[in-house]
């Protein structure tokens, strides 16, 4: 029981790790992930449909949401290179095929066409032009730079530079650079997370294979032992039955011999005691003698 629970926990960890790795590699939302917002359970699809302010607030303040919902948080936007759309078991389209054909985009990227369009839009966002608006991730560096620069700039040179130009130029330039750095940091974190999860999943799968191999060996050994024991029992019973059959045949032969002896004795005594039989025998012999004399 303990081994079964352990195997189940390993499978759950491997499945969750696979979903997170898939979300990071292919830029897809984790469908099993949920978080709490406004005292309610939310998922990545809800986050994608939320307004820009709410989406920006959640994605910029919660790294776990940004990692599990990279597409909804605009961390990345790229097509899944392994996705294939099968139509009537004949035509097969990839994201590149859909992106290079306006008719295919109209057919399979429009949500009004059917439920499959939602999957195509999420899996091939570049091909369908479905990349959400980018979100600026707020960090500590962004908050410190705007507060320090506006206070120092007007005091140093009040006569040469106007306050408006100083305030406008100094806060605007740093956030652009820091935003790109934040995206690079997010990519590094995602890559490190993928490597760690991949190694953990590989170790879990190796342990699972070893445990499965032990279980298979135990089951096969038990089955073989059962059949060997069953064969020995059948052979032993067959030997006993053959001996009983031989004894029974010998008894039948003795009974047949006794019956044959009794029959011979009975016929001999009947021939002695029954005078009719003797008379018929003698009568038959006398008729034979008369016939021989007549022929002479």
Q: DSSP states of 84-118 as a string?
A: EEEETTTEEEEHHHHHT-HHHHHHHS-GGG-THHH
Residue 110 belongs to a domain: yes
Q: Looking at residue 267, what is its pLDDT? A: 52
Does residue 285 lie in a domain region?
Answer: no
- The predicted pLDDT at position 12 comes to 43
Give pLDDT tens digits for 164-212.
333 233 333 333 334 434 445 555 555 555 555 555 555 665 566 667 6
Domain with 174, as residue range(s), is 2-138+164-208
Q: How far apart are CA 187 and CA 193, in angstroms?
A: 10
How many angstroms separate the Cα of 9 from the Cα of each of 2, 4, 105, 201?
Answer: 11, 9, 42, 12
pTM: 0.37
125 by Cβ neighbours in 10 Å (0-12 / 13-18 / 19+) ranks as buried
For residues 128 and 122, is the Cβ–Cβ distance under 8 A?
no
Residue 147: per-residue pLDDT: 41
Residue 16 is predicted with a pLDDT of: 44
pLDDT confidence of residue 7: 53
Write the CB contacts of 48 (distance below 8 Å, at least 6 apart in sequence). 29, 55, 69, 71, 72, 132
Residue 6 and residue 11: Cα distance in Å, rounded? Answer: 9
Q: What is the spatial distance between Cα 120 and Cα 105, in angstroms, rounded to a whole number?
A: 10
Residue 277 domain flag: no
pLDDT lower than 50: segments of the chain? 8-9, 11-24, 140-183, 268-269, 272-273, 275-276, 278, 281-282, 296
How many structural domains is the chain composed of? 1
The token duo for 125 is 């966002």
3-class DSSP state of 42: strand
In a domain, 44, yes or no: yes
What's the pLDDT at 163?
A: 39
The pair of three-digit structure tokens given for residue 247, joined into one six-digit string? 């004894």
Q: Which pLDDT score, from 0 to 100, does residue 109 have?
A: 87
65-to-41, 80, 121, 198, 233 alpha-carbon distances in Å:
13, 21, 21, 20, 65
- Residue 245 in tokens: 């059959």
pLDDT of residue 41: 94
Whether residue 179 is contained in a domain is answered as yes
Answer yes or no: is 261 within a domain: no
Query: Is residue 50 assigned to a domain?
Result: yes
Is residue 115 a part of any domain in this protein? Answer: yes
CB neighbour list of residue 130: distance below 8 Å, 6 or more residues apart: 109, 121, 122, 124
The single residue listed with the structure tokens 């499978």 is 11
């Amino acid at each position: 029981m303990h081994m079964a629970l352990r195997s189940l926990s390993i499978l759950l960890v491997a499945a969750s790790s696979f979903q997170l790795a898939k979300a990071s590699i292919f830029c897809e939302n984790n469908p099993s992930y949920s978080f709490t917002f406004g005292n309610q359970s939310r998922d990545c699809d809800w986050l994608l449909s939320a307004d820009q302010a709410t989406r920006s607030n959640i994605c910029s303040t919660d790294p776990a949401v940004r990692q599990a919902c990279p597409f909804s948080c605009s961390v990345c936007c790229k097509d899944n290179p392994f996705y294939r759309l099968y139509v009537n078991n004949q035509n097969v389209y990839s994201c590149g095929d859909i992106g290079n054909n306006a008719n295919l985009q109209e057919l399979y990227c429009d949500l009004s066409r059917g439920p499959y369009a939602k999957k195509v839009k999420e899996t091939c966002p570049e091909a369908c032009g479905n990349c959400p608006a980018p979100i600026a991730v707020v960090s500590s560096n962004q908050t410190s730079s705007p507060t320090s620069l506006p206070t120092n700039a007007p005091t140093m040179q009040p006569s040469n530079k106007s306050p408006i130009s100083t305030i406008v130029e100094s806060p605007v330039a740093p956030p652009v650079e820091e935003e790109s750095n934040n995206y690079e940091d997010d990519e590094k974190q995602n890559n490190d997370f993928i490597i760690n999860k991949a190694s953990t999943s590989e170790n879990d799968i190796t342990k699972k294979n070893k445990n499965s191999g032990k279980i298979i060996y135990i089951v096969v050994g038990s089955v073989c032992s059962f059949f060997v024991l069953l064969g020995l029992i059948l052979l032993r019973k067959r030997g006993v039955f053959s001996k009983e059959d031989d004894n029974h045949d010998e008894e039948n032969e003795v009974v047949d011999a006794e019956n044959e002896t009794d029959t011979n004795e009975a016929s001999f005594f009947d021939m002695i005691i029954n005078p009719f039989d003797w008379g018929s025998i003698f009568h038959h012999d006398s008729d034979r003698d008369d016939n021989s004399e007549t022929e002479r």
